[in-house]
Structure 1
Amino acid sequence: MEAFADWLASSELGQYLLCREQAFFDRAVADAFGFRAVQLGLTEYDFLACNRIPWHGYAGPEASADVVCDAAFLPFDSRSLDLLVLPHALDFTSQPHQVLREAERVLMPEGRLVLTGFNPLSLWGSCRLLRGRRDAPWGGNFFAPTRIRDWMTLLQLEPTATAFMAYSPPFSRGDWLSRWQFMDNLGERGWSLLAGVYGIEAVKRQRGMRLIMPAWKPVKAGSGLAVAGGNERHPVKQSVQDEISHG
Structure 2
Amino acid sequence: MMQAFSTWLTTTELGHYLLQCEQAFFDRAVADIFGFHAVQMGLPEVDFLAANRIPWQCHAAEGGKAQIICQPTQLPFESRSLDLLVMPHLLDFTTEPHQVLREVERVLMPEGRLLMTGFNPVSLWGVRRLIQGRADTPWRGNFFPLIRIRDWLKLLDLEPVAGCFMAYAPPLSQQGWLERFGFMERAGDKWWPLAAGVYGIEAVKRQRGMRLLTPAWKTAKPAKGLVVAGGNERHPSRRQTPSSHRQVGGDQD
Cα RMSD of the aligned pairs, angstroms, is: 2.0
Shift of 1:209: 5.0
Cα distance in 2 for partners of 1:6, 1:210 equals 45
Larger radius of gyration: 2
The amino acid across from 2:13 in the alignment is E
1:46 aligned residue: 47
2:28 aligned residue: 27
Question: Which contiguous aligned blocks of 4+ residues in structure 1 show a shift greater than 2 angstroms?
Answer: 208-211
Shift of 1:210: 6.3
Cα distance in 2 for partners of 1:26, 1:210 equals 31
Shift of 1:187: 0.4
**Aligned partner of residue 189 in structure 1, secondary structure:** helix
Q: Can you list the C-alpha shifts for 1:181-213, whole angstroms capped at 9, x where unaligned?
A: 1101110213112200000000000012569xx
2:75 aligned residue: 74
Long gaps (5+) in structure 2: 213-223, 225-253
Shift of 1:180: 0.5
Cα distance in 1 for partners of 2:134, 2:6 equals 16
Shift of 1:63: 2.4
Cα distance in 2 for partners of 1:47, 1:58 equals 9
Cα distance in 1 for partners of 2:147, 2:191 equals 17
Long gaps (5+) in structure 1: 212-225, 227-247
Q: Can you list the C-alpha shifts for 1:137-189, whole angstroms capped at 9, x where unaligned?
A: 00100011111111000000000011000000000011100100110111021
1:240 aligned residue: none
The alpha-carbon distance between structure 1 residues 210 and 48, as it changes in their structure 2 partners (threshold 3 A), is closer
Cα distance in 2 for partners of 1:133, 1:35 equals 40
The amino acid across from 1:60 in the alignment is A
Contact 1:8 1:18 in 2 (8 A): yes
2:153 aligned residue: 152
Contact 1:118 1:196 in 2 (8 A): yes
1:61 aligned residue: 62
Contact 2:14 2:172 in 1 (8 A): yes
Cα distance in 2 for partners of 1:55, 1:107 equals 15
Q: Percent identity?
A: 66
Shift of 1:72: 1.1
The amino acid across from 2:209 in the alignment is G
Matched, 1:205 2:206: yes
